[in-house]
Structure formats: C-alpha cells, structure tokens
Amino acid sequence: MECKKSNLHVLLVSFPAQGHINPLLRLAKCLASKGLLVTFSTTETIGHMMKEATNTKSTNIGQGELRFEFFSDGWEIDEPQRANLATWMHQLKTAGRESFIELINRQSETGKPVSCIINNPFVPWATDVAAELEIPCAVLWVQSCAVYSIYYNFQHQLASFPNPDQRDMVLDLPSLPSLEFDDIPDFLTLNPFDSLRKVILSQFKNLDKAFCVLVDSFEELERETIEVMSRISAPIKPVGPLFRSTKNASVRGDIWKATDDCLQWLDSQSPNSVVYVSFGSVVALSSEQLQELSAGLLKSGTPFLWVVKTPPPDMGSKPELPQGFKEEAEGKGMVVEWCPQEQVLAHSAVSCFITHCGWNSSMECLTSGVPVVAFPQWGDQNTNAKFLIDVYGVGIRAKKTPTGKNGAPVVTRDEVERCIFEVTKGANAEEIKKNAVKWKEAAEAAVADGGSSHRNIELFVDDIQRMACNKSGFNDQISLTAEDVHTLTAEDVRTSISMP
C-alpha cells in the first residue's frame, strides 16, 4: 500500500461510554478532514444506540472519509452480568479483544489495512493488540493533563498520596497547585470503583508501546504540566479543544437522541438569562439531591434548561424528578432527555452552567466563555472543579452539607440559589465572565490555522505517514528480493533492506 495520505487508515477504539465516545469521535472527524480514511469503533451494544440516536453512516469529511464499525463484547444487550463492573470489564478485555482483532483483520482483507490504532485509557488492551500486530499505536487521554500527571505519579509511586485516614494531608506535585484530599480523583483515595482504577492505571504500563499521547487540551491552558510530563513519560501532544477542531457537526456519537427543540426554546429567552444544568452521561444524583436542586432552580427565579437522561440498560433506572416539579416549572424552565451541548453552551441565552465537571463538559464550557457552578461528584471531576475555580477562575464551587439520607452530603436549595446569583450577578461575576472569555479566545487561537493544537494535529498526521512510508518501503524491498532473488547478490539484499 502506498503511503500517501489518502491511503492511510486510522482506527479509533473507544470505551463504550458517552464521555469517551465524544472526544474520540471528534478526533476521528479531525483526522478525516486531513484526507485520511478513519474508522471509529466501539462495542456493538453502544453502536446500536448510536445508530438509533444519530447518523453513523460512512461520510466524506474534507478530503477524507469517516466510517463506523463495531465489535462485540460477546454478550446480549440485556445480559444481567453487565451490572457487575469488574465482570463486564473482564468480558470486554477478553471477548471484546478477540472481536476487535477480527475487525482489524477484515480491514486488511478488504484492501484497507490499518496504519495506526488510537485508543483511550479504559481500553488499554488495544495497545497490546496493536503491538502484537505491529501496528503503530497512540493514546488519546480523555481527561486533563493535570489528571494525567496525578495518575502517573500514583502509578509510579513518585509521591505519597493520602488515604481516607489522612484527609488533612496535602498533595504537592510538580507544576500543579497544592491539592487537598477532596481535589484528588477519588479512584485513588476512596477507591469506590476498584476495577476502573486498575484499568486506568494499567494504561501507564502500556505507554511505552504508544508513540505518543494525544490530549484533549491545549498548550496555553496546561503548558507547564505538559512540559513536565513530556520529560518523564511518553511524548504529549495537546490537540484540543477537539469539539472546536471539528467542522462536521451533523456527525455525532450520541447514545441518546438529542432534543433539538431546546435550541428553539433558547431562542425565545433573553440574552444571558438561562441556567444550563447537566451532569453528563453517567452521574446519577440521589433523590435528596434531585429534590434540593429542583427546589433551588425554582427558588432562583431564573429560566433553566435541565438535562435529565435515561441511563443505558446496564446502568440503572431513570432518576425520578420530585412529584409536581414539572407542573411547577412550566413556563420557567425546560427539562430534556439529552441535548446538543456544544450548541447550547454557544447560545447567547445561556448565562452559566451547573456541571458535574467531567472533562468534556469542562472543556466545552471553559472554551465557550460560559461561567460555571462546579458540582463535582467523583473521579477526576473533583480535580477539574479545583482547576476551573481556583486556577482558571471561571466560576464557583457549590458547597455540600451533610443533610441527606444517613448524613450524606448534598448541595442544598439555598446553596443552589446562592451559587446561581454569585456567578451571574454577584460581586465577582464580572471577573468570572472576563476569565471565561479569555480562555475562549485562547482555545479558538489554539485550533485556528497555525495554532498550537492545529500544529500538533498536522505533526501527528505526518508521524503516521512517515511510519507508513517506512513500513511500505521495507515491505516493497523485501518483495523485490523475493521475486528477483536469482539475480541479486547477498550484498544487493543487504543494501536494499538498509535503504532509508
């Protein structure tokens, strides 16, 4: 196969969750726009949901092509064992791995062999597959560089981390601000999901098999951390914010069908008047927290757009809003199943974003110029909240009090009302908005032609092409010696193989 761009084939494999699909698919569209053939893959179960919710047909993007192909995890969609995270992760690593290899082999059989595999941290076995098949591999880190640094330091025991009995201990790492116990990803401290922690950390054992780590961030946002980590780990290329790099908004990876009429509803609202509320695709609030949040939104007197989604079949039942809430909220707010978040955050009617602080949402609001009310729940959300508020200065963090069931901490309705007021009309609201706009402009510059992230994408494509050329040249020369071996001397063969 020739190594020109149109013959390069990049295969991206995503962990089957909305927060992982989004950045991988955005990267897929970005690479396709550079003239490459790109195949996006995840499990068939999630692939079916994507087909139901959006367009997953092959499409031309720029001079390239984006295709969708899915692999099986070996279970039916209603398999009860999916509820056991550790069991399902093992199933994905075994049955999913074998099906993924078959998918790769099919590409070669159809004359489109894979030039490069890109995976994310929750499918580290894809890196092993790439190594076994001698296919160049890169990783897209779907969290911040700061969180990358924290996990790396933990995995390699480069610092002492607090445990639940050391809540007063402060963690100090190079290039990062001092982190208190609640600022550290709780997969490392409280460890509620042991299987997830093991999967995340296992990626760092495989990084030497990847030729680079791509990050959905940008140099201007995390420059010092990127420089520090690039010296001690695999080379890091920030290529974000990816949602601003992609031109084809019609190709989406939603698991739930977006409610487009929410944009029409926003059109009917005054500028900077609507509170947007979303906790991503995984977070499920307790009934006590739903009660307090809904009451706080009504009490604030501010129009709101609230995403309350139905989780996938293996992730529990739909959260129930308080009885009578929808009737009381009529004319004051809108509740939807899912929405095109990038377009919502870009809408002039939105004044602030109450968010769980997942990295996708953090990047989207940070680079859309929208102030935030940080409402983190677990994992890296705690760290992202710390940076959004204390480092980037784009909002405030909602405070929890132990008033929930069995003394569980919740954000009260009074705190919800206070936070909305403070971030939109309070004494620091103007400064918060100013900072948000500053980061928006920096993000736009990063992905513009010649910007830091734009250059890194170009360099990454060049790397793939260079490796394909080297491999193609080597194979072509081997093929030549096999055909003409009767006319070549041993010295001819050695010279041919060693040619650059």
Q: Is the same domain home to 243 and 282?
A: no
Q: Is the same domain home to 239 and 296?
A: no
**What is the DSSP annotation of 167-206?**
TT--B--TTS--B-GGGS-TTTTT-S-HHHHHHHHHHHHH
Q: Is the same domain home to 77 and 109?
A: yes
In angstroms, rounded to a whole number, what is the distance separating the alpha carbons of residues 297 and 305?
10
Q: What is the pLDDT along the chain (500 residues), one digit of tens a residue?
A: 466 777 899 999 999 988 899 999 999 999 999 999 999 999 999 888 888 877 778 889 888 999 999 999 999 888 888 878 788 888 999 999 999 999 999 999 999 999 999 998 889 899 999 999 999 999 999 999 999 999 999 999 999 999 889 999 999 999 999 999 999 998 888 766 676 778 778 778 788 889 999 999 999 999 999 999 999 888 899 999 998 876 666 677 776 777 779 999 999 999 999 999 999 878 888 889 999 999 999 999 999 999 987 655 545 555 678 888 988 999 899 999 889 999 999 999 999 999 999 999 999 999 999 999 999 998 899 999 999 999 999 999 999 998 766 778 899 999 999 999 999 999 999 999 999 999 999 999 999 999 999 999 999 999 999 998 887 654 443 333 333 323 333 333 233 333 33
Residue 297 maps to a domain: yes
Residue 172 maps to a domain: yes
Domain that holds residue 242: 5-252+448-472
Q: Is the same domain home to 48 and 138?
A: yes
- Taking 3-state DSSP, the helix, strand and coil percentages for the chain, each rounded to the nearest 5, stand at 50, 15, 40
Residue 483 maps to a domain: no
pLDDT at 494: 31
Residue 401 maps to a domain: yes
Q: Is the same domain home to 264 and 227?
A: no
Query: With b meaning 16 or more CB within 10 Å and e meaning fewer, what string describes 314-347?
Result: beeeebebeeebeeebeeebbbbebbbbbebbeb
Residue 403 maps to a domain: yes
Last residue of a domain, one of 426, 456, 486: 426
State both tokens at 282.
Answer: 């995984």
Q: Is the same domain home to 74 and 141?
A: yes
State both tokens at 467.
Answer: 């490796």
Residue 490 maps to a domain: no
pLDDT at 94: 92
Q: Is the same domain home to 31 and 174?
A: yes
Closest-CA residue to 457 (of 468, 447, 471, 467): 447
Residue 480 maps to a domain: no
Q: Is the same domain home to 176 and 293?
A: no
Q: Report the CATH number at residue 207.
A: 3.40.50.2000
Residue 82 maps to a domain: yes
Number of domains composing the chain: 2
Q: Is the same domain home to 352 and 418?
A: yes
Last residue of a domain, one of 426, 461, 488: 426
**What is the DSSP annotation of 20-83?**
HHHHHHHHHHHHHTTT-EEEEE-BHHHHHHHHHHS--S-EEETTEEEEE--B--SS-TT-GGGG
Q: Is the same domain home to 247 and 264?
A: no
**What is the DSSP annotation of 353-386?**
EEE---HHHHHHHHTTT--EEE---STTHHHHHH
Closest-CA residue to 245 (of 50, 90, 458): 458
Q: Which residues contact 363 (CB under 8 A, 6 or more apart)?
A: 216, 217, 240, 241, 243
Q: Is 454 assigned a catalytic role?
A: no
pLDDT above 90 covers a percentage of the chain that reads 63
User: How many Cα neighbours within 13 Å face the side chain of 49?
Assistant: 20
pLDDT at 382: 94
Q: Is the same domain home to 176 and 238?
A: yes
Q: Is the same domain home to 106 and 214?
A: yes
Q: Which residues pair with 205 in a beta bridge?
A: none
Q: Which of 9, 20, 347, 356 is catalytic?
A: 20
Tell if the pTM clears 0.85, that is, is over it.
Answer: yes
